[in-house]
Amino acid sequence: MTTHYTAPLADIRFDLYDLLEVEKLFAELPGCEGLNRELIDAVLDEAAKFSQAVLAPLNEIGDQQGCSFDKATAEVKAPQGFKEAYRQYVEGGWAGLTAPEAYGGQGLPETIGAPVKEMIDSANLAWGTYPLLSHGATEALRVHGEDWQKDAFLKRIVSGEWTGTMCLTEPHCGSDLGLLKTRAEPSDDGSYAISGTKIFITAGEHDFTDNIVHLVLARLPDAPKGVKGISLFIVPKFKVGKDGAKGERNGVRCGSIEHKMGLKGSATCVLNFDGAQGWLIGEPNKGLNAMFTMMNTARLAVGLQGLALSERAYQNALSYARERLQMRSLSGAKFPDKPADPLIVHGDIRRMLLTQKALIEGGRALGLSAAVLVDIQHRSTDENEVKRAEVLMSFLTPIVKALLTENANECTSLALQIYGGHGYIAEHGMEQYARDARITTIYEGTTQIQALDLLGRKVMQQQGAGLKLFLEEIAAFCTQHANDDALKAFVAPLAGIAKEWADVTQAVGGRAAGNADEVGAAAVDYLFYSGYVALAYAWARSVVAADASSQSEDFKQAKRLTARFYFDRILPRTRIHLAAMQAGADSIFAMPDALFG
């Protein structure tokens, strides 16, 4: 039984037009002036058609077939239909949707690219990983590449003729890039010979395109130790001259592909670099600066992956709950003409459905709000506005990445639970979403890495600059609506917990000043606490936007009731995370290592 997918266009349009008022935003941003509702709707409609008709039918096929690796030729073949879908994707102009027009892209804002990506990933996340890192490679080359590199590589990535990858991880080092060993030896022609092994490389080898552009972290011979001695290089599968001409096969080969829990249609490769010709991007030993341009883009994209899987799983769980007959309602038969009531009448089924709905719609509002900040950061001519967007974006990135992916684990698990035993078997398709979701909290920085980034770097090291701006925004919202009786159920709790957030942060910081381990002990709880407050703000704003909109009364009521559920049943999770933070690090570090056995 194949699961279904219908793009959630009504909620996407509500977020864009009513909540975020993108028409006003685009009218003020350079390069976006001509973007009206008619054009935006046309893009969304076409993306929905492509996702539903082309990608969604391949989702189950990709999971069943997986990728194949030919050891003799070191080539990878994607599942049946994937290559043809990519051809249609490129012909439709989707590859360069948000890329600059100067390099052949369409120059649309990220706020439009984000919902398109969500639809693609809901339809077929494994397929969506192939073009995923091309977007990040585009950003890294656009910001840090030399003019000839942009001409030779960037234009072909933007067109979809070639794809890009990001090569960080090595067998002995994952998130700790200071341990990286891949070497880069200078050559007489200005290029470098790259040697080493990279693992877990998404789309590192495939049959979609005739060239793949790898962005590789490596060390120069005289590089300092640790992360301060890492440089970034362009290493194509086939050599490319400065004139853009494609040459002979380069010294990079796929050694194997991983056998994974999920995302089986996505090729996760071991890449062996043996004196491969590469070109330096940016300054020597400053590779992390360029890589983080790519990585931050990828982290937001992975957050959207989590949202996408949650949406697909929820849609099918909701359909099943409406159709599956099981027992009678505890308060009496709701469908007496049927032999039993449908699942949706039962209290705990409703709790699970509402939890998914609240996390998905709140997560979409939060994710698209982050996309708006990206567009302001990249396009605004107001320096103060750009600086504010940069600080807020930096603060929200680990929250969006971690929370939306952790929510995906919860939402896909709840969806499977609603199916009962039928959810556990492959025929109904739900277990695939639970398997696929599991990686999203791991790659592009685990939840723990995001939590340390948020608390350790964005809050402690940067004196809470982003948090202060976000709290100011929440305070202004609460002040504006303080006297609105219809909103008291949302505004008063939001104002209270926002104040508590500031106090909690100060308390954790105070303990960390005396013991650095307090940061690691509190970080994940702090991230979840922060994320749930951020979602509460998104929901309060959504209620205000819905009430003021021209949406149907049913739509408005659904928003208000879902927000009420969120504030009543999900926001209280902050109490658990608060208690855990207040407990401190003692019980975590008290046990000697030897006693863990």
Shared domain check, 570 and 494: yes
Residue 332 lies in a domain: no
For residue 34, pLDDT over 90 is answered with no
Give the total number of structural domains in the chain: 3
Instruction: Give yes or no: residues 144 and 13 share one domain.
Output: yes
What average pLDDT is seen over the chain? 96
Evaluate if residue 288 carries a pLDDT over 90: no
How confident is residue 354, by pLDDT bands cut at 50, 70 and 90? very high
Same domain as 253, residue 188? yes
Per-residue pLDDT at 136: 85
Same domain, 209 and 245: yes
User: Do 582 and 478 lie in a common domain?
Assistant: yes
Within this chain, do residues 75 and 46 fall inside the same structural domain, yes or no? Answer: yes
User: Which of 286, 304, 334 represents a domain boundary (last residue)?
Assistant: 286
Q: 118 with 168, same domain?
A: no
Residues known to be catalytic: 444
3-state SS track over 360-415: HHHHHHHHHHHHHHHHHHHHCCCHHHHHHHHHHHHHHHHHHHHHHHHHHHHHHHHH
Question: Is residue 274 domain-resident?
Answer: yes
The last residue of a domain, from among 286, 301, 323: 286
Burial class (CB in 10 A: 0-12, 13-18, 19+), 99: buried
Band (1; pLDDT cuts 50, 70, 90): low
Q: Are strands 183-186 and 68-70 parallel, antiparallel or unpaired?
A: unpaired
Give 219's DSSP letter. B
- Sort strands 75-77 and 68-70 into parallel, antiparallel or unpaired: antiparallel
Would 130 be classed as within a structural domain?
A: yes
Residues 175, 143: one domain?
no
Inside any domain, residue 308: no
Reply yes or no on whether the pLDDT at 192 is more than 90.
yes
List beta partners, residue 246.
240
Residue that is last in its domain, among 148, 178, 206:
148
Whole-number pLDDT of residue 175: 78
pLDDT above 90 (res 293): no
What mean pLDDT comes out for the span 253-280?
98
Does 175 share its domain with 56?
A: no
| In a shared domain, residues 466 and 571 | yes
Q: How confident is the model at residue 246 (pLDDT cuts 50, 70, 90)?
A: very high
Residue 315 lies in a domain: no
CATH number of residue 108's parent domain: 1.10.540.10
**Domain-located, residue 57:** yes
Answer whether residue 289 shows pLDDT above 90.
no
Return the pLDDT at 294: 75
Same domain, 79 and 182: no
Does some domain include residue 238? yes
The Cα–Cα gap between 78 and 234 comes to 24
Domain of residue 507 covers: 455-588
Each residue's pLDDT tens digit, 531-551: 999 999 999 999 999 999 999
